[in-house]
Amino acid sequence: MTTSLLIRGGTVVNADREFKADVLCVDGRIAAVGDSAAQNAPAGTQTLDASGQYILPGGIDPHTHMQLPFMGTVTADDFFTGTAAGLAGGTTSIIDFVIPNPQQPLMEAYRAWRSWAEKSAADYGFHVAITWWSESVHRDMETLVKAEGVNSFKHFMAYKNAIMCDDETLVNSFKRALELGAMPTVHAENGELVYLLQAEVLKIGITGPEGHPLSRPPMVEGEAANRAIAIADVLGVPVYIVHVSCIESAEAIARARARGQRVYGEVLAGHLLIDDSVYRHPDFAHAAAYVMSPPFRPKIHQEALWRGLQSGQLHTTATDHCTFCAGQKAAGKDDFSKIPNGCGGIEERMAVIWDAGVNTGRLTPSEFVAITSANAAKLFNIYPQKGSISVGADADLVLWDPQGTKTISAKTQHSKVDFNIFEGRKVRGIPSHTVSQGGVVYANGNLMAESGKGRYIKRPAFGANFQAAALRAKELEPTAVKR
Ligand code: URQ
Ligand code: ZN
Ligand code: ZN
């Protein structure tokens, strides 16, 4: 049975341009854009009036952790509640993370996460973390790329004695990623420095959440970003740096890109709008709710992140949605290094960035689409299936009401967590409808997310351009001197 949806009277916004056009969706795909949409609408087509609104590609959040077992607990949002919250905010796809324990076979961890994600309400993919190295990891990476549609591998340079990978693993895995046509990504913080600084801060008697940023100053991130960039440069592989939070790493990326290196940066909505004063709140639960890594920074860093997004030196926005309730955060009541790291944001990302970015003139609507959807689709090789309103693309769209307003609150959010890092923020510019796979899943506050409706999205390896880069790097290899 054909399901069709006609969206009339709106302004379509893609990353390259905006234009008035109707959009017809048939059986989960975009079937027509423009005057032919209405002409080709089958009998009985549901119609949405988008006059005065923008029609955006569904948001893509390339950095979430639903149902993550971490620091002795599991996140409050599972793959259903987390993706449902995303749909309420206009995000129709996520890329989450498979994070094997050290020594755990990658395929075993991958199968576990795939089973957890079956309840997703929206489409999803996985970056797979490389937390250890062996012949089996080398082999499983190939299986994941060639058989499972994984084209990105994550490396935590922080979290010593847990999931941190050392330089040997970074080097081996980056090289393997290049061979396979996959994108290496990094959490860039020097885990050795964090470990030492945590001990030093605790030793002088600072045990509260205010100790968290003290143990992870910006240069701890800057060093790791520079190191990951240098390793990628020597090996001739691109690299994607997640949650760039500070001037030090933003400048490291800009310098590398100015040299022509393929380095990409991701910025969290939280790091654009929240500063480190939150850690000095007198109430433990309030301050602990903001404990995530890298930490929220002094305000001066926010301008560098906005400028990076405006200038194209930083590319995507995400949330790192990794939610822990107050009872879970209390694990660190007497020692901030034991507070489970992570915050929410998947429902709020698009609205807070529109409000602070587009309404202020920092971003055009097209630039907004680039950083909330299209660039992530391009960097993880699912464009234009995702990230574009074009014939043949998945019918994932948002009707965006630029005059709509809301005050963000944990009281009205859909996430299961009991806190909202954007609590009280008034925004103008919100989704009125979210369309996923051609069906309306959110309409004017009414969320109709369905568990299990989400699909696993395979992301193909990058082809010749990767291999060509590797070959060029090889050609540059010095030839042996004949003696
Ligand atoms: O580091 C990450 O990205 C995960 C473990 C979420 N937690 C966080 O603090 N960012
Ligand atoms: Zn991280
Ligand atoms: Zn993360």
For the record, the structure tokens of 335 come out as 């020692």
The CA 458 to ligand 1 mean position distance, Å, reads 24
Q: What tens digit of pLDDT does each residue of 16-39 get?
A: 999 999 999 999 999 999 999 999
CA gap 69, 288 in Å, rounded: 18
Q: What is the pLDDT of residue 474?
A: 58
Evaluate: CB of 75 within 6 angstroms of ligand 1.
no
Atom number, ligand 1, closest to the C-alpha of residue 341 = 9
Band of the pLDDT at 482, cuts 50, 70, 90? confident
Evaluate: CB of 266 within 6 angstroms of ligand 1.
no
Would you identify the CATH topology of the domain 1-483?
A: TIM Barrel (3.20.20)
The three-class DSSP label of residue 189 is coil
The CA 22 to ligand 1 mean position distance, Å, reads 40
Q: What is the pLDDT of residue 463?
A: 80
Residue with CA nearest ligand 1 atom 6? 342
Q: What is the pLDDT of residue 481?
A: 83
The answer to whether residues 354 and 369 touch, using CB atoms and an 8 Å cutoff, is: no
Band of the pLDDT at 479, cuts 50, 70, 90? confident
For residues 394-409, average pLDDT = 98
Query: Letter for the amino acid at 253?
Result: I
Evaluate: CB of 95 within 6 angstroms of ligand 1.
no
Q: What tens digit of pLDDT does each residue of 137-181 get?
A: 999 999 999 999 999 999 999 999 999 999 999 999 999 999 999
CA gap 127, 134 in Å, rounded: 19
Evaluate: CB of 349 within 6 angstroms of ligand 1.
no
Ligand nearest to the CA of 241: 2
For residues 444-468, average pLDDT = 89
Q: Which of 172-176, 199-203, 468-472 has the lowest mean pLDDT?
A: 468-472
For residues 118-128, average pLDDT = 99
Beta bridge partners of 281: none
Task: Please determine, for residue 468, whether its predicted confidence score (pLDDT) is greater than 70.
Answer: no
Contacts made by residues 443-451, CB under 8 angstroms, sequence distance 24+ = 447/84, 447/87, 447/88, 447/414, 449/80, 449/83, 449/84, 449/87, 449/88, 449/121, 449/122, 450/121, 451/80, 451/119, 451/120, 451/121
Q: What percent of the chain has pLDDT over 90?
A: 95
* Alpha helices, DSSP H, located in 135-275: 135-148, 167-180, 191-203, 211-214, 218-235, 247-258, 269-273
The answer to whether residues 180 and 212 touch, using CB atoms and an 8 Å cutoff, is: no
The three-class DSSP label of residue 405 is strand
The CA 267 to ligand 1 mean position distance, Å, reads 13
Specify the DSSP class assigned to residue 331.
Answer: G
Neighbours of ion ligand 3 (CB under 5 A): 320
* Nearest CA-CA partner of 256 in 240, 272, 268, 243: 240
Atom number, ligand 1, closest to the C-alpha of residue 242 = 3
For the record, the structure tokens of 86 come out as 């995303």
Instruction: Return the number of other C-beta atoms located less than 10 Å from residue 214's C-beta.
Output: 17
Evaluate: CB of 201 within 6 angstroms of ligand 1.
no
Average pLDDT over the chain reads: 97
Q: What tens digit of pLDDT does each residue of 370-387 get?
A: 999 999 999 999 999 999
Q: Where are the domains of the chain?
A: 1-483
Test site for ligand 1: of 341, 346, 417, 421, most ligand atoms within 8 A of the Cβ: 341
The CA 292 to ligand 1 mean position distance, Å, reads 6
Task: Please determine, for residue 341, whether its predicted confidence score (pLDDT) is greater than 90.
Answer: yes
Test site for ligand 1: of 65, 68, 127, most ligand atoms within 8 A of the Cβ: 65
Task: Please determine, for residue 465, whether its predicted confidence score (pLDDT) is greater than 60.
Answer: no
Ligand nearest to the CA of 221: 2
The three-class DSSP label of residue 257 is helix
CA gap 318, 126 in Å, rounded: 14
The CA 317 to ligand 2 mean position distance, Å, reads 14
* Alpha helices, DSSP H, located in 333-433: 349-353, 365-369, 375-379
Ligand nearest to the CA of 322: 1
* Nearest CA-CA partner of 370 in 325, 420, 309, 439: 309
Evaluate: CB of 293 within 6 angstroms of ligand 1.
yes
The CA 14 to ligand 1 mean position distance, Å, reads 30
Residue with CA nearest ligand 1 atom 10? 293
The CA 216 to ligand 2 mean position distance, Å, reads 13
Residue with CA nearest ligand 1 atom 1? 293
Band of the pLDDT at 313, cuts 50, 70, 90? very high
The CA 255 to ligand 1 mean position distance, Å, reads 26
- The whole-model pTM stands at 0.97
The answer to whether residues 111 and 136 touch, using CB atoms and an 8 Å cutoff, is: no
Residue with CA nearest ligand 1 atom 4? 342
Q: What tens digit of pLDDT does each residue of 89-107 get?
A: 999 999 999 999 999 999 9
Evaluate: CB of 163 within 6 angstroms of ligand 1.
no
